Amino acid sequence: MLSKLENVLNDAELDLAKVNDLNALVQLKANYLGKKGVLASVMSNMRDLTVEQRKEIGMRTNVIKNSLEEKFEAKKNQIEEAIINQKLQNETIDVTLPGVDFSIGGIHPLNQTIMELEDLYIGMGYTVAEGPEIETDENCFEKLNLPKGHPARDMQDTFYINPELLLRSQTSPVQVRTMMENDGKPIKIICPGKVYRRDADDATHSHQFMQCEGLVLGKNITMADLKGALLEMAQKMFDKDRQIRLRPSFFPFTEPSVEVDVSCGMCGGKGCSTCKGTGWIEVLGAGMVNDNVLRMSGYDPAEIQGYAFGIGVERITMLKHRIDDIRNFYTNDVRFLNQFKEVK
């Protein structure tokens, strides 16, 4: 019987050496060590033995069983390791292969202009303020000196949500919001953002566009300060040789009001088709904040005065890049947008 046991061990070792997959290994283990396996069947003959023999055979059987279990476990580890190695080998990356070309987006030209304006004005001590696109009639018109029924409301065809709420038609209501929060104290802000008007879209009109409002309030602020701030803007946004010209105009929220022209970059001011022969191009509206506007938002015009301006972001961007149709900004044609990418 002892020799039978030794044979089991030898046979198992030989069979183990041949196995190289996990399923076969499980099967083999069951054949040798399972309830109905080879070892169990040898053991079933134990009844015919003497007590002494049983003791000896029993001990030997245990040793063989333990040894086989260890060998099966070692084999299992070996097979698993081989599988992992094979997997790693299949996943090897050839670093000399050309990379995958994934294209990234760029910053929209209008946002580029806003970022430039922000840089420029922050450099002059302004902070950036924001307000909601859904505004009250009060902030967008009434507190800007445009009471209900004022004829100047016709200048801005507005999308109303209800009689008191609207899609803001200008960024000027952010002036009102900031004044209401500042308790009569000095202010120096720009407010870039989207605005909406009930205009039919064409080459120069869009029902949604962008403005950048500016408001500076403090002691002894004059029209000369306004002109300085605008000249700085024109020379930084376009080029250092640009001049500006202020023409009298009307806005209900400023008095006096001006329309601001920049000298034409195409002809240097001599007159060409871009500037329609005048040498100047209109870029924004501005003025000294109307006393009524100051009073309505808690400011005393005898103490604090200031100026405001409203820049058309599309207009500046179109002039800068010689774009002739505002719709290009909103139709998302990548052939157009790609021209403004920093990394192409």
Chain residues that interact with ligand DAH, rule: CB under 6 A: 170, 172, 213, 251, 254, 285-287, 308-310
Q: How many CB atoms lie within 10 A of CB 239?
A: 10
Q: Which is nearer to ligand DAH, 141 or 280 (CB)?
A: 141
Q: Which is nearer to ligand DAH, 5 or 314 (CB)?
A: 314
Q: Which is nearer to ligand DAH, 193 or 279 (CB)?
A: 193
How many Å separate Cα 67 from the centre of its chain? 63
Q: Which is nearer to ligand DAH, 75 or 188 (CB)?
A: 188
Say if residues 263 and 246 touch (Cβ distance below 8 Å): no
Q: Which is nearer to ligand DAH, 192 or 287 (CB)?
A: 287
Name the residue whose CB lies closest to ligand DAH: 310
- Give Cα separations from 47 to 53, 58, 309 (angstroms): 10, 12, 109
- How many Cα atoms are found within 13 Å in the side-chain-facing hemisphere of 98? 3
Considering the complex, what minimum distance in angstroms separates the CB of residue 263 from ligand DAH? Answer: 20
Q: Which is nearer to ligand DAH, 172 or 263 (CB)?
A: 172
Q: How many CB atoms lie within 10 A of CB 290?
A: 20
**Distance separating alpha carbons of residues 336 and 202, to the nearest angstrom:** 17
Considering the complex, what minimum distance in angstroms separates the CB of residue 175 from ligand DAH? Answer: 7
**Distance separating alpha carbons of residues 157 and 140, to the nearest angstrom:** 13
Q: Which is nearer to ligand DAH, 308 or 326 (CB)?
A: 308
Q: H or E stretch including 189? A: strand 187-196
Token digits of residue 245: 């010209």
Token digits of residue 284: 């924004």
Considering the complex, what minimum distance in angstroms separates the CB of residue 344 from ligand DAH? Answer: 35
Considering the complex, what minimum distance in angstroms separates the CB of residue 277 from ligand DAH? Answer: 25
Using DSSP bridges, classify how beta strands 254-263 and 244-251 pair: parallel, antiparallel or unpaired.
antiparallel
Q: Which is nearer to ligand DAH, 61 or 169 (CB)?
A: 169
Considering the complex, what minimum distance in angstroms separates the CB of residue 108 from ligand DAH? Answer: 21
Q: Which is nearer to ligand DAH, 269 or 285 (CB)?
A: 285
Phi, psi at residue 103, to the nearest 5°? -90, 140
DSSP string, 174-236: HHHHHHHHHTT--EEEEEEEEEE--PPP-SS--SEEEEEEEEEEETT--HHHHHHHHHHHHHH
Considering the complex, what minimum distance in angstroms separates the CB of residue 316 from ligand DAH? Answer: 13
Which residue carries 């009298």 as its tokens?
248
Considering the complex, what minimum distance in angstroms separates the CB of residue 166 from ligand DAH? Answer: 14
Token digits of residue 302: 């005898």
Residue 298: DSSP 8-state: T
Q: How many CB atoms lie within 10 A of CB 179?
A: 25
3-state SS class at 161: strand
Report whether the peptide linkage leading into residue 256 is cis, meaning its omega lies within 30 degrees of zero: yes
Considering the complex, what minimum distance in angstroms separates the CB of residue 170 from ligand DAH? Answer: 4
Considering the complex, what minimum distance in angstroms separates the CB of residue 156 from ligand DAH? Answer: 6
3-state SS class at 126: coil
